[in-house]
Structure 1
C-alpha cells in the first residue's frame, strides 16, 4: 500500500520532530548527569579513601609480624620443636630433617619489604603477600653476625595469615651507590658560624649550655636529654664535639638579616660508656641581628649536582650457615 502525498509529508514531519526532540532530550539528560556529578563532587559525600588505606596498613602490619615470627621459629627449629612450625605453615615436620640443636643464634628480625602479589582462590576471596625479613645470624654466641634476607609468601584470608610454603633466602637490594656532598667551603674554627655550630652541638647533645642561645626563635629546637658526655684529652682538658664544619659556599663573618647558608658538621661524641660515636649533622644557619643562628637540622645533607653516582662494589660472598 502506498501513502498519498499528504500522509507522506505528515510522516516525514513527525520523524524529523522526533529526531529533533529526541536529540534535545539526550542533551538535557547528559547535562543533568554532568551537573549531578559536579554537585556530588562539590557538595556530596566525599569518597572514602581512609578506610581502605587503614585496611591495607593493618593487613601489612599483621602479615609482617607473622612473617617475622615464622622466620625466627623456622631458623631455630629442632627435631624436638618441629611441631611449632605448624602454626605458620602446613608441612610434615618429619620431611624437614631438622637438627637436634638450633643451627644458628639470631638477632632481632626486621621487615625489609612487604608487597601485594594479587588475589587468590575462588571469587578472589583471598590475597597473597610477599614479605622479606632481614635477620642477623651467628653460628655461635661469640661469632660476628652476618645479615641474611628471607622471603616469606603469605596467604591472607578471612581466617587470618598463613604461609604458603617455607621461607627462602634472597639477595639484598644491592650495595647502593655514592654521591658526593655539596659543601666545598671549609670554615675555620675561629669563624663566627663555626663557633655557633660548635656551641649548638655541645648544648644539644650534652646539655652543657643553653640551646636557645644558638638557635632562631622559630627553629623549635631543644636539647635531646643529654645522652652524651663532653670529650676530654689524656690530660683531662675538654675537647670540642665538632671536629670540622664545611659550607655550601662562602660564609661571611657578619651575615645580612635573613641570609641563610647550609653547613655540614662532623661530630664526635662520647657515650655514657665512654665510647666515641661519630655523627654528621646537616644544618641550616640564618643571619639574625648580624650573627649566625641555627635555623634547623636538615633532613639530609645537600648532595652534589655535578658529580656522577658511583656504584659501590658488592661485598665478597659469604658462605651461608
Structure 2
C-alpha cells in the first residue's frame, strides 16, 4: 500500500510538471506565447540594447559636436564692417597749407610745393600776412579720399614800416586728396599716407553765428548772497584757483578734485551765482542727498594784479546740514529741448582801404 501511494505521488508530480510546461507554452489572454527560454532570451536582448546605447553615447555626442561646429554648406560669412575714413590727416594738412599760403609771396612760391604742386606765381610781397593761430572748423569727404576742409585763421597784416594790424578771423576752404588707409583719410589699405592740395585756398564767409539754448539755472542768487550754497561755492573756488586752503573742507566724501597747480590766481571774487533751485532762497540746507546745480561767475586776479573773468558749473549735494561740492561739471546745464538758434546778423567792418592787404593771386607760368 505504501509503494502504491508513493507511485501515485510521483505520477501526480509528473503530471503537474507537464501541466505547468504545457500552460507556459500555451497562449495567454493577450495572445502571446511565453516560456522560460523565451523570457531569458528577451532579457538578454534588452541588456544588449542598453549596453549598445551606453557604448555609442560618446560616439554620437562627438558626431553631434562636430556637425554643429562645422560651417554650414553654402552659408555666407558676414562682410566685415567698413572702417570710416578719418578726417584728422587731411584736416591737419589743410591747416598747415593755409598758414604757409598766407605767409608766402612773390619769389617764395616754392614754400608751397610740399602742399600744392601746381604752377603758380604770387603777386603779393612775402610776409605781408601771417596767421597768428589757426584751427580746422569743418571737414567733409566729398568723394572717397577727397576732402573739403575749412580752416579759420586769425590773420595779422604787416606793412613795410614794420607795423602790424590784426585783420581778425578769416576762413579758407581747401580741397585735399588723401592716399593711404582709411585711418589717414584715404581708401587704399597697406599703402603710405600722403596728401595734396588740388588748388590754392578759397576765402569763404564765416559760418552762421548761433545763439545758445536757454540754460537750466532759473534762480539768480546774486553775488553777495548769504545763501549757504553760495558760501560753499565761494570758498571752493577760492581754494581751487588760489590754493590758499584745502579743497576737502568744501567737497563731498569720495570726491577727487585737485586744485590748479601752480595756483594761477592770487584772489577770487564771486560776481554772480545762478542755480536750478525752485525756491526763492536757501537759507536752510535741505535734507541730506539734495542736489543743486550752480553756474558761478568770478573775477580772478592773477599774480600780476589783472582780473580775469571766469565761469564754473558746479554740482552741490547736501550732507549733515551743509552744502558740499560733488563735481566741477564739464559744461553748464541747458534746458531740455532747447536747441541753439540763429543769432541776429552782424556785419564785421572791413579794414580801411589804405590798410587792406591784397590776397595772393595765382597765375599760370
TM-score (norm 1): 0.72
Contact 1:154–1:163 at 8 Å: present in 2 too? yes
Q: Which residue matches 1:274? A: 305
Structure 2 distance, partners of 1:75, 1:68, is 11
What SS does structure 2 have at the residue aligned with 1:139? strand
Q: Which residue matches 1:12? A: none
Q: Which residue matches 1:93? A: 120
Larger Rg: 2
1:296 is displaced (CA, Å) by 0.8
For residues 197-253 of structure 1, what are the alpha-carbon distances to aligned partners after superposition, in whole Å with 9 as ceiling and x for unaligned?
10000000110111111011233212111433233xxxxxxxx52122222113352
Q: Which residue matches 1:182? A: 216
Structure 2 distance, partners of 1:116, 1:190, is 55
> Gaps spanning 5+ residues in structure 1: where?
1-31, 120-126, 232-239
Contact 1:266–1:278 at 8 Å: present in 2 too? yes
Contact 1:152–1:163 at 8 Å: present in 2 too? yes
> Gaps spanning 5+ residues in structure 2: where?
1-70, 181-191, 351-355, 358-365
Given the alignment, which residue of 323, 331, 342 partners 1:292?
323
Q: Are residues 1:261 and 2:262 paired?
A: no
Q: Which residue matches 2:177? A: 155
1:308 is displaced (CA, Å) by 8.8
Structure 1 distance, partners of 2:230, 2:156, is 44
Q: Are residues 1:211 and 2:221 paired?
A: no
Structure 1 distance, partners of 2:283, 2:105, is 67
For residues 60-71 of structure 1, the aligned pairs below 5 Å read 60-71=87-98
What SS does structure 2 have at the residue aligned with 1:70? helix
Runs ≥4 residues deviating over 4 A: 46-49, 304-310
Structure 2 distance, partners of 1:296, 1:308, is 25
Q: Which residue matches 2:275? A: 247
Given the alignment, which residue of 199, 202, 205 partners 1:171?
205
Given the alignment, which residue of 216, 220, 234 partners 2:256?
220
Contact 1:82–1:93 at 8 Å: present in 2 too? yes
> Number of paired residues?
261
Structure 2 distance, partners of 1:130, 1:307, is 31
What SS does structure 2 have at the residue aligned with 1:83? helix
